[in-house]
Structure 1
Amino acid sequence: MPLATTDPTAVDLSAVDEYLGSAPGSVSDLELLLWALVGWALVLDIVLTAYGLSIGLVERNPLMRQAIDTFGLAALGLAKAGAVGVALVFRLLWPEYAIVAPLGLAVPWVLAVLFNAALLASL
Protein backbone atom coordinates (compact mmCIF):
# COMPACT_ATOMS: atom_id res chain seq x y z
CA MET A 1 0.00 0.00 0.00
CA PRO A 2 1.62 3.26 -1.11
CA LEU A 3 1.90 6.07 1.37
CA ALA A 4 0.24 9.33 0.48
CA THR A 5 2.58 12.27 0.53
CA THR A 6 1.50 15.83 0.88
CA ASP A 7 3.31 18.67 -0.75
CA PRO A 8 4.13 21.24 1.96
CA THR A 9 4.13 24.00 -0.67
CA ALA A 10 0.64 23.15 -1.97
CA VAL A 11 -1.98 25.76 -1.22
CA ASP A 12 -5.71 25.10 -1.06
CA LEU A 13 -7.16 27.88 -3.20
CA SER A 14 -10.79 27.02 -2.49
CA ALA A 15 -10.87 29.43 0.46
CA VAL A 16 -9.44 32.20 -1.73
CA ASP A 17 -11.97 31.42 -4.48
CA GLU A 18 -14.79 31.51 -1.94
CA TYR A 19 -13.59 34.82 -0.43
CA LEU A 20 -13.33 36.46 -3.85
CA GLY A 21 -16.61 34.98 -5.01
CA SER A 22 -14.97 33.16 -7.91
CA ALA A 23 -16.12 29.70 -6.83
CA PRO A 24 -18.99 28.56 -9.08
CA GLY A 25 -22.34 29.83 -7.83
CA SER A 26 -20.93 31.89 -4.98
CA VAL A 27 -21.06 35.55 -4.11
CA SER A 28 -18.55 36.70 -1.53
CA ASP A 29 -19.13 39.18 1.25
CA LEU A 30 -16.53 41.42 -0.38
CA GLU A 31 -18.39 41.35 -3.68
CA LEU A 32 -21.70 42.15 -1.96
CA LEU A 33 -20.04 45.05 -0.18
CA LEU A 34 -18.70 46.37 -3.48
CA TRP A 35 -22.12 46.06 -5.17
CA ALA A 36 -23.63 48.01 -2.26
CA LEU A 37 -20.94 50.64 -2.75
CA VAL A 38 -21.80 50.76 -6.47
CA GLY A 39 -25.47 51.39 -5.64
CA TRP A 40 -24.58 54.05 -3.08
CA ALA A 41 -22.22 55.82 -5.49
CA LEU A 42 -24.72 55.60 -8.36
CA VAL A 43 -27.46 57.31 -6.35
CA LEU A 44 -25.14 59.93 -4.84
CA ASP A 45 -23.62 60.76 -8.22
CA ILE A 46 -27.06 61.35 -9.73
CA VAL A 47 -28.19 63.43 -6.74
CA LEU A 48 -25.03 65.55 -6.65
CA THR A 49 -25.11 66.03 -10.43
CA ALA A 50 -28.76 67.09 -10.31
CA TYR A 51 -28.02 69.53 -7.52
CA GLY A 52 -24.99 70.94 -9.33
CA LEU A 53 -26.98 71.44 -12.52
CA SER A 54 -29.79 73.11 -10.56
CA ILE A 55 -27.40 75.75 -9.19
CA GLY A 56 -25.93 76.51 -12.61
CA LEU A 57 -22.97 74.16 -12.89
CA VAL A 58 -22.37 72.39 -16.19
CA GLU A 59 -21.79 68.68 -16.88
CA ARG A 60 -18.18 68.29 -18.04
CA ASN A 61 -18.69 65.11 -20.07
CA PRO A 62 -19.82 66.39 -23.50
CA LEU A 63 -21.77 63.24 -24.39
CA MET A 64 -23.58 63.19 -21.08
CA ARG A 65 -24.16 66.95 -21.27
CA GLN A 66 -25.87 66.51 -24.66
CA ALA A 67 -27.91 63.55 -23.37
CA ILE A 68 -29.02 65.50 -20.27
CA ASP A 69 -29.91 68.52 -22.41
CA THR A 70 -31.98 66.28 -24.67
CA PHE A 71 -33.55 63.78 -22.25
CA GLY A 72 -33.07 65.31 -18.82
CA LEU A 73 -31.65 63.54 -15.78
CA ALA A 74 -33.25 60.30 -16.94
CA ALA A 75 -30.34 60.05 -19.38
CA LEU A 76 -27.91 59.94 -16.47
CA GLY A 77 -29.93 57.22 -14.75
CA LEU A 78 -30.19 55.20 -17.97
CA ALA A 79 -26.45 55.49 -18.63
CA LYS A 80 -25.66 54.29 -15.12
CA ALA A 81 -28.21 51.45 -15.37
CA GLY A 82 -26.61 50.43 -18.67
CA ALA A 83 -23.17 50.34 -17.05
CA VAL A 84 -24.50 48.17 -14.21
CA GLY A 85 -26.12 45.89 -16.80
CA VAL A 86 -22.85 45.45 -18.66
CA ALA A 87 -21.04 44.74 -15.37
CA LEU A 88 -23.64 42.12 -14.41
CA VAL A 89 -23.30 40.38 -17.78
CA PHE A 90 -19.52 40.41 -17.36
CA ARG A 91 -19.92 38.95 -13.87
CA LEU A 92 -22.19 36.17 -15.16
CA LEU A 93 -19.97 35.29 -18.12
CA TRP A 94 -16.71 35.29 -16.17
CA PRO A 95 -17.48 34.32 -12.56
CA GLU A 96 -13.80 33.73 -11.88
CA TYR A 97 -13.37 37.51 -12.17
CA ALA A 98 -16.48 38.30 -10.10
CA ILE A 99 -14.77 40.99 -8.05
CA VAL A 100 -13.74 42.97 -11.14
CA ALA A 101 -17.30 43.88 -12.17
CA PRO A 102 -18.33 45.87 -9.08
CA LEU A 103 -14.80 47.15 -8.54
CA GLY A 104 -14.73 48.56 -12.08
CA LEU A 105 -17.83 50.61 -11.30
CA ALA A 106 -17.21 51.43 -7.65
CA VAL A 107 -13.78 53.02 -8.08
CA PRO A 108 -14.64 55.64 -10.74
CA TRP A 109 -18.10 56.35 -9.32
CA VAL A 110 -16.84 56.86 -5.78
CA LEU A 111 -14.13 59.16 -7.14
CA ALA A 112 -16.79 61.09 -9.09
CA VAL A 113 -18.91 61.43 -5.95
CA LEU A 114 -15.92 62.66 -3.94
CA PHE A 115 -14.96 65.13 -6.67
CA ASN A 116 -18.53 66.43 -7.00
CA ALA A 117 -18.97 66.71 -3.24
CA ALA A 118 -15.68 68.62 -2.90
CA LEU A 119 -16.64 70.92 -5.76
CA LEU A 120 -20.06 71.65 -4.28
CA ALA A 121 -18.58 72.18 -0.80
CA SER A 122 -16.14 74.73 -2.20
CA LEU A 123 -18.87 76.96 -3.63
Structure 2
Amino acid sequence: MKHIVLPLTFAALIATPTFAQEADQGPSLMEQGLELFFEGLRDEMAPALDDLQQLADEIGPAMHGFMLEMGPALAKIAAEVDDWSSYEMPEVLPNGDIIIRKKPTEAEQEMPKADGQTDI
Protein backbone atom coordinates (compact mmCIF):
# COMPACT_ATOMS: atom_id res chain seq x y z
CA MET A 1 0.00 0.00 0.00
CA LYS A 2 2.87 2.37 0.84
CA HIS A 3 4.27 1.81 -2.65
CA ILE A 4 1.12 3.33 -4.15
CA VAL A 5 0.44 6.11 -1.65
CA LEU A 6 3.90 7.66 -1.74
CA PRO A 7 4.04 8.21 -5.54
CA LEU A 8 0.47 9.53 -5.51
CA THR A 9 1.37 11.93 -2.71
CA PHE A 10 4.34 13.32 -4.63
CA ALA A 11 2.23 13.56 -7.78
CA ALA A 12 -0.36 15.57 -5.85
CA LEU A 13 2.33 17.90 -4.52
CA ILE A 14 3.71 18.48 -7.99
CA ALA A 15 0.30 18.87 -9.63
CA THR A 16 -1.16 21.28 -7.04
CA PRO A 17 0.53 24.46 -8.35
CA THR A 18 -0.36 23.51 -11.93
CA PHE A 19 -4.06 23.27 -11.17
CA ALA A 20 -4.01 26.59 -9.36
CA GLN A 21 -2.33 28.32 -12.31
CA GLU A 22 -4.72 26.83 -14.90
CA ALA A 23 -7.84 27.92 -13.04
CA ASP A 24 -6.65 31.56 -12.74
CA GLN A 25 -8.20 31.48 -9.31
CA GLY A 26 -6.71 30.96 -5.92
CA PRO A 27 -6.15 27.42 -4.72
CA SER A 28 -9.32 25.49 -3.92
CA LEU A 29 -10.12 24.43 -0.39
CA MET A 30 -8.89 20.92 -1.21
CA GLU A 31 -5.59 22.29 -2.47
CA GLN A 32 -5.21 24.54 0.57
CA GLY A 33 -5.96 21.62 2.86
CA LEU A 34 -3.47 19.43 1.02
CA GLU A 35 -0.81 22.14 1.29
CA LEU A 36 -1.44 22.53 5.01
CA PHE A 37 -1.38 18.76 5.50
CA PHE A 38 1.98 18.36 3.77
CA GLU A 39 3.40 21.41 5.49
CA GLY A 40 2.47 19.88 8.85
CA LEU A 41 3.86 16.53 7.77
CA ARG A 42 7.15 18.18 6.76
CA ASP A 43 7.34 19.99 10.10
CA GLU A 44 6.63 16.80 12.05
CA MET A 45 9.12 14.71 10.05
CA ALA A 46 11.97 17.25 10.16
CA PRO A 47 13.38 16.17 13.58
CA ALA A 48 13.21 12.47 12.65
CA LEU A 49 14.92 13.14 9.32
CA ASP A 50 17.60 15.17 11.08
CA ASP A 51 18.19 12.29 13.52
CA LEU A 52 18.35 9.85 10.61
CA GLN A 53 20.91 12.05 8.84
CA GLN A 54 22.99 12.24 12.03
CA LEU A 55 22.86 8.45 12.41
CA ALA A 56 23.89 7.99 8.77
CA ASP A 57 26.80 10.38 9.30
CA GLU A 58 27.92 8.42 12.37
CA ILE A 59 27.68 4.87 11.01
CA GLY A 60 28.36 5.65 7.36
CA PRO A 61 32.15 5.19 7.49
CA ALA A 62 31.83 1.92 9.45
CA MET A 63 29.25 0.57 7.00
CA HIS A 64 31.47 1.58 4.08
CA GLY A 65 34.39 -0.35 5.57
CA PHE A 66 32.17 -3.35 6.30
CA MET A 67 30.85 -3.44 2.73
CA LEU A 68 34.35 -3.14 1.26
CA GLU A 69 35.52 -6.08 3.36
CA MET A 70 32.44 -8.30 3.37
CA GLY A 71 30.71 -7.25 0.15
CA PRO A 72 32.39 -9.80 -2.16
CA ALA A 73 31.73 -12.68 0.28
CA LEU A 74 28.08 -11.66 0.70
CA ALA A 75 27.66 -11.40 -3.07
CA LYS A 76 29.08 -14.92 -3.46
CA ILE A 77 26.64 -16.29 -0.87
CA ALA A 78 23.71 -14.45 -2.46
CA ALA A 79 24.60 -15.93 -5.87
CA GLU A 80 24.58 -19.47 -4.45
CA VAL A 81 21.24 -19.23 -2.60
CA ASP A 82 18.12 -19.47 -4.75
CA ASP A 83 15.45 -19.05 -2.07
CA TRP A 84 16.27 -17.42 1.27
CA SER A 85 12.89 -18.49 2.70
CA SER A 86 14.07 -22.11 2.73
CA TYR A 87 16.64 -21.30 5.45
CA GLU A 88 16.29 -20.80 9.21
CA MET A 89 17.37 -17.62 10.96
CA PRO A 90 21.15 -17.48 11.51
CA GLU A 91 22.33 -18.87 14.84
CA VAL A 92 25.44 -17.56 16.58
CA LEU A 93 27.30 -20.24 18.52
CA PRO A 94 29.17 -19.50 21.78
CA ASN A 95 32.49 -19.63 19.91
CA GLY A 96 31.31 -16.93 17.48
CA ASP A 97 30.57 -19.19 14.53
CA ILE A 98 27.39 -18.42 12.60
CA ILE A 99 25.24 -21.29 11.34
CA ILE A 100 22.44 -20.89 8.82
CA ARG A 101 20.49 -24.15 8.71
CA LYS A 102 18.26 -25.18 5.85
CA LYS A 103 14.62 -25.71 6.83
CA PRO A 104 13.51 -29.35 6.65
CA THR A 105 11.33 -30.21 3.65
CA GLU A 106 7.91 -31.82 4.11
CA ALA A 107 9.32 -35.25 3.23
CA GLU A 108 12.05 -34.88 5.86
CA GLN A 109 9.51 -33.81 8.49
CA GLU A 110 7.28 -36.85 7.87
CA MET A 111 10.16 -39.35 7.92
CA PRO A 112 10.50 -40.88 11.40
CA LYS A 113 13.91 -40.60 13.00
CA ALA A 114 15.86 -43.84 13.35
CA ASP A 115 16.38 -44.98 16.92
CA GLY A 116 19.29 -47.25 16.10
CA GLN A 117 17.15 -50.40 15.68
CA THR A 118 16.09 -52.03 12.44
CA ASP A 119 12.85 -53.99 12.09
CA ILE A 120 13.12 -57.22 10.11
TM-score (ref. length: structure 1): 0.25
Larger Rg: 2
Q: Which fold has the larger relative contact order, with Cα–Cα distance below 8 Å and residues 6 or more apart in sequence?
A: 1
TM-score (ref. length: structure 2): 0.26
